[in-house]
Amino acid sequence: MHHAYPNFPSRTWAEVDLGAVRHNVGTLKRRAPNSGLMAVVKADAYGHGAVPVSRAVLEAGADSLAVVTAEEGAELREAGIEAPILVFTDLLPEGLALAERARLTVTAHSLESARRILAHSGMEAHLKVNTGMNRWGVGPEEVGEIRKILAQRLTGVYTHFASADSDEEATRRQIEAFRAVLSAHDFGGAIVHAANSAATLWHPSSNYGCVRPGVALYGMHPRGDGGDPADEGLRPALALKSYVADVRTVAPSEGVSYGLKWRAERPTRVATVPVGYAEGYRRALSNGSFALIGGERCPLLGRVTMDASVFGVDGEVRVGDEVVLVGEQGGETLRAEEVARWAGTINYEVTTGLNPRRVERSYRDVQGH
């Protein structure tokens, strides 16, 4: 596949298929047919672009959105998005002031945060209960006091699972602990939510009145570094692409890249691709990754550098050819889960780690796609 340079959006870019995002919303709604859907669009929608993704998920049937900072929520409001937006994490006074201006719903994580929220008249809050994740949230013994402090301002109650993707017994214990809290207190008409992507798919008893998927919205598998999203009816939304900037032949015993950690055993054609760890293509992939060039899997040779990586290719490759680092080309596929395994990480980090200053996003949206 040959391209002239002017056709490229930038050195390295991400193509986001909003039609796939819409499809994934539909898949998740079918898996939890009696629940509303809160779309988690934190971290710039896991690297996919918070504003366009938020518009797409809401049009596809999501009821509300969730973010992690007041700034993330304010960005969506400034873009004209009017749906309810929940901020997951604890906010200091400055964050609460911004949340109030942006009409965001906030989270009470402790007695102290509940009192800070109380100082902002009219601000609605959800109560987060710690049932075993031990990161944020109040213990079950504090729920009654916070319920009294916030009273009618409390419009939701939720918990978060530590291992819904991997430990059925631990998840069952968390579900039971949360159920006990719900039984012990009258939350009136508050929204109850607990299920992340993994729980939405595999623990239907936790779906309650609202599910809260994140990674699955983007067509990535909740297990992070394993599983095929297609098995769950999900379609990956992001492709990471670059181009061949240089092609040369490396002589036997010559190496490439910093430290010369790969050396040629025979004359080898190599392609330099302008993608490196400054783009978010992780250095941990050095000598252990592949890219699709000309529809073939081409091995990464030597170290990933800040601005470039080198791949072994055949003689048909030319300067200007498209390179796929995540996605599909010529019938071959590189999924984010596979790249994550090579890097010793999870698919979440593959997409959220893309540097927006170096990786331009482009969008397509085929309705019903």
Tens of pLDDT, residue by residue over 29-54, are 999 999 999 999 999 999 999 999 99
Q: Which of 350, 360, 255, 239 is nearest to 310 (CA)?
A: 255
What is the Cα–Cα distance from 53 to 49, expressed in whole angstroms?
6
Q: What is the mean pLDDT of residues 168-194?
A: 96
User: Residue 22 CA to chain centroid, in angstroms?
Assistant: 15
pLDDT greater than 70 at residue 367: no
Q: How many helices (H) and strands (E) does the chain have?
A: 11, 20
Task: Of 222, 232, 191, give the one whose Cα is nearest residue 208.
Answer: 191
pLDDT per residue as tens digits for the range 222-256: 999 999 999 999 999 999 999 999 999 999 999 99
Nearest-5° Cα angle at 86, 83 to 357: 85
The structure tokens listed for 275 are: 């993608």
Which pair of tokens denotes residue 135?
């990161």
Bridge-partner residues for 191, per DSSP? 156
Q: Is 263 helix (H, G, I), strand (E, B) or coil?
A: strand
Report the percent of the chain where pLDDT is more than 90: 94
Question: Does the structure show a pLDDT above 60 at 349?
Answer: yes
> Per the residue annotation, which of 29, 42, 128, 241 is the catalytic one?
42
> Is the confidence at residue 4, as pLDDT, over 70?
no
pLDDT at 3 over 70: no
Short-list 148, 280, 200, 261, CA closest to 32 = 200
pLDDT interval class at 315 (50, 70, 90): confident
Q: Which domains does the chain have, with CATH numbers?
A: 5-13+237-364 (2.40.37.10), 32-219 (3.20.20.10)
CA 271, 274, 275 angle in degrees (round to 5)?
110
Rg of the chain over all Cα atoms, to the nearest angstrom: 23
For residue 176, what are the contacts with CB-CB under 8 A and spacing of at least 6? none
Asked about 258 being catalytic, the answer comes back as yes
What single DSSP character describes residue 251? P
Contact status, residue 86 vs residue 156, Cβ threshold 8 Å: yes
Query: Where does residue 26 fall: left (phi above 0), alpha (psi -120 to 50 degrees), or beta otherwise?
Result: alpha
pLDDT of 369 higher than 70:
no
The whole-angstrom separation of Cα 54 and Cα 213 is: 13
What does residue 129 show for φ and ψ, rounded to 5 degrees?
-105, 130
Task: Please pick, among 128, 148, 241, 258, the residue that the annotation labels catalytic.
Answer: 258
pLDDT score of 355 more than 90: yes
